[in-house]
Amino acid sequence: MEDIIESLKQQIIDSLNLQGMKPSDIDDNAPLFGEGLGLDSIDSLELMVLLERNYGIKIEDAREGRKILASVQTMADFIQANRKL
Amino acid sequence: MKQPLYLISSCSISPQHTYDAGQFLQPVMSCDNGKLFVIDADYAKYISPVAIRRMSRMLKIGITAGMNCIESSGVASPDAIIIGTAHGSVTDMENFLKDMIRLEEQALNPTSFIQSTYNSVNGWIAMMTKCTGYNQTYVHRGFSLELTLLDAQMMLAEATGTKYILAGSFDELTDEYHHIHRKINYFKQETFNSLALFDHYDTPGSIGGEGANFFMLSNEQGNAACAIHTIKMLQKPTSEELIAGINEALAENGLNSTDIDVMMCGMNGDSRSKHLADTLLNSCEPNTTITTFKQLSGEYYTASGFGLWLCDHLFQTQQVPEEIVYRKGSATPIKNTLFCNVTVNGCVSMMVVRRC
């Protein structure tokens, strides 16, 4: 799980072009949207593309996606349970 | 007489020091590889860190030029935003197309697609200024800016309460864009110092350029130094049609050729449109100062925006920098300017710009 979290944080930084950020700057449980990293709806689309491209996981239901993309930890849990790549 | 478009403020981000107009041509910037890229401005002044991380170069350039123009005008939010561009954000389009091939049309990133659309700059400026009024983008290659200005002119003449319109244009140069356009002789095969552009009129094409040029237009004079009175477009005119077009534009304003103090000539070094440049130069009276600008901006579909910014700069300063003088005339102060832009495929746009 630790490995997934570390690589996921780096992928998020690269994918969303979070300039000047390091994986250690992102709290595993902090919300990605709103108060935490302050991501927006376009970022959520980018994260869904990230999951599909890097882990072979497609999120079909938007309501489900909101829960999965809540934090790095929830994303990592989802990846561990569903990854195809 | 049609509705004059008063230029309340203007902003240019170009390959020259135009963003800080006080440093204009200090020093003159040139290139030896046929590509004149813009000098970066302080984009973070207008764009938040959260938004800027996703933006490509031209998006940042366009938004910054537009926002700076609005700020200089003293208008909190324009009544309308009208922008012209031939190709929008080329970098985003290239990224999206490359991803389509690389990822075999699966799981494509949305950002480059969203921001490659032609109206991204308008949308961002509208959101940043909370402008919910008319928002339009003209994508008509070499006439994109001219059609933008015509739309603004009609809107301001309609007396619907619209007082301030942000109008402008932007187009981007990338290495790949240059490579492709060089293959079709839009850009020259040979390389040389860009300032020597007009010594190379014997070969087809021009030199690459890019920029974003914005204008706050109004139907009220305010503090404007000048106003656009006539906008004309000629589709691949013959020399005779070009002369007739100039005479018509001048006559609309009760002017004749000796009344023109400065001819701003958008000649581009392309052998295929040399006859038009020659016609323009030969049509000028001895008292008219002839100026050129594409050796400074490079050629791009909306390069006329740089020429129009330069016109406004001349009226504001009442000085003609030596670096843009093709032939010195005698007329001062500057009261009437005829601006003519020649595109690589031989179309011409012209504007009569007059001191307020």
| Under 8 Å between Cβ of B39 and B29 | yes
Instruction: Give residue B21's pLDDT.
Output: 67
Whether the CB of B117 is below 8 Å from some CB of chain A: the reply is no
A65-74 pLDDT, tens digit each:
889 999 999 9
Chain A closest CA to B49's CA: distance in Å? 9
Tokens describing residue A57: 């996981």
- Is pLDDT at B54 greater than 80 in this prediction? yes
The domain B5-218 belongs to what CATH superfamily? Thiolase/Chalcone synthase (3.40.47.10)
> For chain B, what are the domain ranges?
5-218, 226-355
**Between B20 and B89, where is the model more confident?**
B89
Average pLDDT over residues B27-55: 94
**Between B94 and B331, where is the model more confident?**
B94
B114-148 pLDDT, tens digit each:
888 999 999 999 999 999 999 999 999 999 999 99
A38-60 pLDDT, tens digit each:
888 889 999 999 999 999 999 98
**Between B25 and B233, where is the model more confident?**
B233
Chain A closest CA to B107's CA: distance in Å? 5
Neighbouring residues of B111: CB distance < 8 A, sequence distance ≥ 6: A42, A45, A46, B54, B92
Percent of chain B predicted with pLDDT > 90: 89
For residue B253, give the amino acid letter.
N
What order of strands is seen across the sheet that includes strand B134-138? Answer: B134-138, B80-84, B164-171, B211-218, B5-13, B226-234, B348-355, B336-342, B262-266, B289-292, B325-327
CATH code for residues B226-355: 3.40.47.10
Q: Is B335 helix (H, G, I), strand (E, B) or coil?
A: coil
Average pLDDT over residues B325-347: 94
The domain A2-82 belongs to what CATH superfamily? ACP-like (1.10.1200.10)
Whether the CB of B100 is below 8 Å from some CB of chain A: the reply is no
Instruction: Give residue B115's pLDDT.
Output: 86
